[in-house]
Structure 1
């Protein structure tokens, strides 16, 4: 007998879909029926990328979709455009979906578990008599900074448009990551002329989140003790993962290339450099070549995820020649099961954009990180890795903004050769394991969450 019907709504981006899908599998494990609502475009990507047996592995997760308000060919990696469209168009579509499900005889939705970035949905849910719990997919420190915006404006750190008044390094509380005021997430998410759209969204979502009866996040106590002390009502339930066998689909937008796992099996323990920059980062051809040649110079086996849209304008002939040259040591795939890769004994380090999912997956598996942030909150995540946990290093671009191949080689060698970093990464892994284990802080918080949704 199902405990109740829960609707789950992520922000329409890969990095938000995955943790909420992982959470959905956990809800199903505890007897809930879940309707997972993607945008139509993301829904189609998830279905196309799913393995043939994926539908069976979803069990009581019903996949549904609504339009995002953009035309079919518009750029959904333009966050300003995406946020503006979904904020205006999706509330009506979501309300209609709830009505259609009831008309079709589906059990009534009791709870919305919504991404904080989709705060407008909390208002829709409450109007329909649906209770709300919110999920924050990034670091608790990132949410803490957003919740402190009124205070930062009052203190003269920011102006009322979200831009820094003072160029300084900010640290909200002891143990929290220091962050320069020029690197606030809402000011580093796209074209500056669209910045007001994201800043307005953040400010609105801060208010909408008051409609939620509980806020949970994909983090753990030891990782962010300072942030949880500052905001004890944000409950960590992570690091999240769907299942220990990696069999359950987690909503990837691209098909996974499973060949890389067999390739890893043939490599020595702690020998492989894993390189992946998530679903949004774009490199120009010059930076791509410097990274490629830096990996080649390092002379270590590497597994590199290169999405089809990662480097527009890159010479196919150059890439083919490079791939042939490194065929004995390197493997390039378009997407992979990252959690499986990071859990593999052969992986020595992770060259990462520092998205929060990647950061948590590295922490959970004790993998040192070479930080190469791209946008949004990734600069804050870099600060956790390099300044707070000290489980990795960061690349340093030259005066021209390019990370040179010699820098890539030097930092990879420095990272792999640092016993202190490996030791701290191992400690963080053990702390994460303790938190999600029986009687751990994340496990206790998850029980509170389940108890609430069972009401």
Structure 2
């Protein structure tokens, strides 16, 4: 019997590619073989954005990760921020081509053929292809285990009248998905900004990922302990934070911000970043810029370029910004780990949430869509390591609100202490005998 050989297939966005890459490195360290399948488009983009030093590090690393690619079925000029378009193009094209890739990979090492497929959400079709070829499969869920539990419970939520068949809440109310889980507002379900087609896709995808033997989650037992009672398939293996690898970056990282942080005293800088997908309108952008001026503290602000490397915003005329540094993209884990960072103004995407917790940094929560509202509830109400930014009657988070909440957060000693305590509890999961480490070992033994 050969060693376990995993075929890793992420949905092509950073929030899926990066955690699966982290997991692949972990499995590789444990002696497993990995073939990592990207779309052609993503492979090209991430390769172009690896710096020289990263390339040298990657060369020196004893790893058994091989890369293969498939086309996503879209044209180069197609808008890949349109997820409906991407999901359905992939579903139409890639399942037909995957068996040939598997055959080619297996021909290269007949002793160690692909024995397990790990796919992220939206790529459940790969588990179906695997079943047809006699290859077992697992899901890597890249959001919180609680949002997985929400999606898993959709049929029950429809059955008991909490939501209708299109996913809309029948009334605004607080519910518990299972005893001991936090109360959840029905307006905050992960599919909240959905349309009917995407909601149907989630329902169908959930029935497909039932084919996975395990649902691996980038979370820890202490962060969401009650959620694991929802299904015996859910396995916490996080935080996935291998330090040897930098995340695959879809934009060139500006590392000058680390030197800039070195010049500031401990816990003095406000770090602002909304991940790789969240978009705000120009009016809201203006309020944020002027809010950062009002706060009158050093800030590091990530203003992400669009896919063609243009910035889509205009800075307001009265914006001064002399206390801050603005970059297009930065090495987030290194930034959050920097002693000069005082707090994290975040959209509360799960990867950012896990990274902030891992680094013990308090949050200023600004959720935009999907599961971010559930994550915000955990940060503010359950773990109590953050403060929420509210909107005014025009639906804007005002500059005054930003100033007020930054001051509230930085003046709250309790939040600082809880953040450091939560960091320790979370890191305890990945020490030798920690909860996540044991789960990972059991998973690898299962794969063997």
- Alignment TM-score > 0.5, same fold: yes
Q: Which residue of 2 aligns with 1:192?
A: none
Q: Post-superposition shift, 1:170?
A: 2.5
Give 1:115 shift: 1.0
Structure 1 unmatched ranges of 5 or more: 190-194
**Are 1:83 and 1:197, in contact at CA under 8 Å, matched by a contact in 2?**
no
- CA deviation vs aligned residue, 1:279-335 (integer Å, no higher than 9, x gap): 00112111111101111111111111111129965236x58x84xx323x2111111
For residues 168 and 87 of structure 1, what CA distance do their matches in structure 2 show? 35
Task: Quote the residue 2:134 is aligned against.
Answer: 129
Which deviates more from structure 2 when the two are superposed, residues 114-123 or residues 229-238?
229-238
1:182 equivalent among 175, 183, 187: 187
Change (3 A) 1:338 1:57: farther
* 1:2 CA displacement: 8.0
> Does the 8 A contact of 1:8 with 1:113 survive in 2?
yes
Quote the residue 1:333 is aligned against: 327
Question: What TM-score does the superposition give when structure 2 sets the normalisation length?
Answer: 0.93
Write out per-residue CA displacement over residues 359-402 of structure 1, whole angstroms, 9 at most, x where no aligned residue.
01111111111111111111111111111111101111111111
Q: What are the within-5 Å matches in structure 2 for residues 209-358 of structure 1?
A: 209-243=209-243, 247-309=244-306, 313-315=312-314, 318=316, 322=319, 325-327=320-322, 329-358=323-352
Q: C-alpha separation between the residues in 2 aligned to 1:312 and 1:182?
A: 32
Q: CA RMSD of the aligned region, Å?
A: 2.1
2:64 is aligned, of 60, 65, 81, to: 60
Q: Match of 1:30?
A: 30
Q: C-alpha distance in 1, partners of 2:2/2:128?
A: 26
> Would the alpha carbon gap of residues 312 and 335 (structure 1) be closer, same or farther in structure 2, given more than 3 Å must change?
closer
Q: CA deviation at 1:268?
A: 0.6
Question: Residues 141 and 177 of structure 1 are in contact (CA less than 8 Å); yes or no, is this contact kept in structure 2?
Answer: no
Counterpart of 1:254 in 2: which secondary structure? coil
**1:398 and 2:392 matched:** yes
Question: In terms of mean alpha carbon deviation, does 54-63 or 232-241 score higher?
Answer: 54-63
Measure, in 2, the Cα distance between the counterparts of 1:152 and 1:176: 16
For structure 2, the residue ranges without an aligned partner over 5 or more in a row are none
Alpha carbons of 1:286 and 1:2: their partners in 2 closer, same or farther (altered >3 Å)? farther
SS in 1 for 2:364: strand
Which residue matches 1:169?
174
Distance 1:293 1:225 in 2: 40
Please say if residues 284 and 312 of structure 1, whose CA atoms lie closer than 8 Å, have aligned partners that are also in contact. Answer: no
Shift of 1:239: 0.8
DSSP-derived class of the 1:187 partner? coil
Give the one of 85, 94, 98 matched to 2:98: 94
Q: CA deviation at 1:238?
A: 0.6
Call closer, same or farther: CA 1:436–1:104 in 2, change over 3 Å: closer
Give the number of aligned pairs: 441
TM-score, scaled to structure 1: 0.92
Residues 144-183 of structure 1 show CA distances to partners (whole Å, capped at 9, x for unaligned) of 0111111101110111222222221232134434332223
CA contact (8 A) 1:285 1:312 kept: no
